[in-house]
Amino acid sequence: MITLDSYNFSGKKALVRVDFNVPLNDKFEITDDTRIRATIPTITKILNDGGSVILMSHLGRPKDGPTEKFSLKHLVNPLSLILGKTVKFAEDCIGDQASELAANLAAGEVLLLENLRFYKEEEKGDESFAEKLSKLGDVWVMDAFGTAHRAHASTAVIGKFFTDKVCGYVMQAELDNAERLLEHSERPFTAIMGGAKISDKILIIERLLDKVDNLIIGGGMSYTFSKARGGNIGNSLLEADKMDLTLELIKKAAEKGVNLVLPVDNLVADDFSNDANKQVVGVGKIPDGWEGLDIGPETIKLFSEIIAKSKTVLWNGPMGVFEFPSFAEGTNAIAETVVKATEENDAFSLIGGGDSASAINNAGYGDRVSYVSTGGGALLEYMEGKELPGVAALRG
């Protein structure tokens, strides 16, 4: 795989696939620019070499072609401010205007293309669409790890139209950190799995059982474990068809000598709302009509003691409905303890994208852990041992 540092972009037009799928409010303002800022070192390296940059990305899930709220034009000014230079914009990602702007791009200039997903061909992995995009640049740089698990036109198929294919800094950091975690982890190694559904995490949990010393389960998925063990979970999240699987995972963990840790108490509410009445109850003792929205104080203490002593920590998924301040304490406490393990116990800590990344960044701890992945689903699939099309395209 060609790395960014081993390639000289002088005189080259670099077609860079980035992940600018950032959240926008109703005024089309970016509410979290983490993904944009993550790509700046890649863009800067190309410009400093004397190359020019053509950026392509998707934004959201537009269903019927061009849509105002999914237009990348809303990113032009913020990106210009971050880069400290005027970014040009093509109102289409292919066609005459895009071709002309790309052809006339001088060294040191940056062009942003309109949303790739305004064309259904992007997600279909259409070859002729990928070929049209490829004609805009001399070299393809893949720096969108967050979409590397999709065999889309711009993330994988496009690779066959380039001789020069380069791995960007975001992509490289994601692969290096995942590799370090899976293959070179110091012990004790603790994985913290949260989020709503166990079905989303089955494969990664099964693989981690061969790697970790401690597996902590929190968040919505923990209620399926609780119900399977005969507990009362009220109106809490439940995947009834996964109850047998949870018992199987508990058994597998015991056979492999892994300390699988479940909540011992929950913070429950009588309504799915920040202002609901709340109380702390023991695990499996949630009253009818109530639902678990966070881990309880004893669970926070139990989880924190294990994490604080760890030398490697993987965290993927919140401990509760952290979007509601009344039920964010568990997630925030885990974030604080991961920081503590990193700073005081010299642990390597990887935050596995999605909601966990939002939680750690919102708490102001993003720069106090070892690595915050922007990968989300791609990171999980990579850790499950799957080959990602966007990675394979760089190697092929």
Residues known to be catalytic: 35, 197, 354, 377
| Phi, psi angle pair for 268, to nearest 5° | -115, 160
Which 8-state DSSP code applies to residue 294? E
Helix or strand holding residue 138 (H, E): none
Encode burial over 257-271: b for 16+ CB neighbours within 10 A, e otherwise: ebebbbbbbbbbbee
Give the pair of three-digit tokens for residue 141.
């740089």
Taking every pair of C-alpha atoms in the chain, what is the biggest distance, in angstroms? 68
Q: Which are the contacts of 237, defined by CB distance < 8 A and separation ≥ 6?
A: 196, 197, 220, 221, 223, 224, 291, 292
Give the start-end residues of each E strand in 308-388: 312-316, 348-351, 371-372
Burial class of residue 100 in the structure, from the number of CB atoms within 10 Å of its CB (0-12 exposed, 13-18 middle, 19+ buried): exposed
Would strands 265-269 and 278-282 be described as parallel, antiparallel, or unpaired? antiparallel
In this structure, what token pair is assigned to residue 182? 């899976």
* Strand, coil or helix: 144: coil
Query: Closest Cα to residue 283, out of 217, 336, 327, 349?
Result: 217
Instruction: Report how far residue 392's alpha carbon sits from residue 396's, in angstroms, rounded to the nearest whole number.
Output: 6
Element (H, E) at 276: none
Closest CA to 170 of 19, 38, 59, 5: 38
Task: Give the DSSP per-residue string, 243-264.
Answer: HHHHHHHHHHHHHHT-EEE--S
* DSSP β-ladder status, 189-193 and 214-217: parallel
